[in-house]
Amino acid sequence: MIKLAIPLLHVSDPVLAESFYCDQLGFKKTFAYCPFGESGPCYFGIIRDGVRVHLSSFPGDGIAGNAVALIVDNVDALHHEYVLKGVKIDLEPTDQSWGNQ
């Protein structure tokens, strides 16, 4: 039985990625594997509200351009939080008819 899926996203710069995901999006880093130091290839996990994501800058890990859909309790409140933190947002929350609830 499958109990959990953890998306793996490729990042080009682990230091910038950690700053963005943790400082701006409110995730916390839970572990890191950086055998060549923080500026070399790094694989690390982040979590927010029980949602886990893994990020990697190792060649071949993840595929640039992947996307993850996160279902949230209050998208307007989360959007407001991110605006206050200066997160660049291309499209404000918009009702769609895709059937994801």
Q: What is the pLDDT of residues 50-83, one digit of tens each?
A: 999 999 999 988 886 777 777 888 989 999 999 9
CATH 3.60.10.10 is the classification of domain 8-84: no
Q: What is the pLDDT of residue 5?
A: 86
Domain boundaries, the chain: 8-84
Structure confidence at residue 100 as a pLDDT band (50, 70, 90) = low
Query: Which residue from 22, 12, 21, 6 is spatially nearest to 56, judged by alpha carbons?
Result: 12
Query: Which residue from 69, 77, 75 is spatially nearest to 93, judged by alpha carbons?
Result: 75
pLDDT at 1 over 70: no
Query: Which residue from 65, 60, 61, 11 is spatially nearest to 38, judged by alpha carbons?
Result: 11
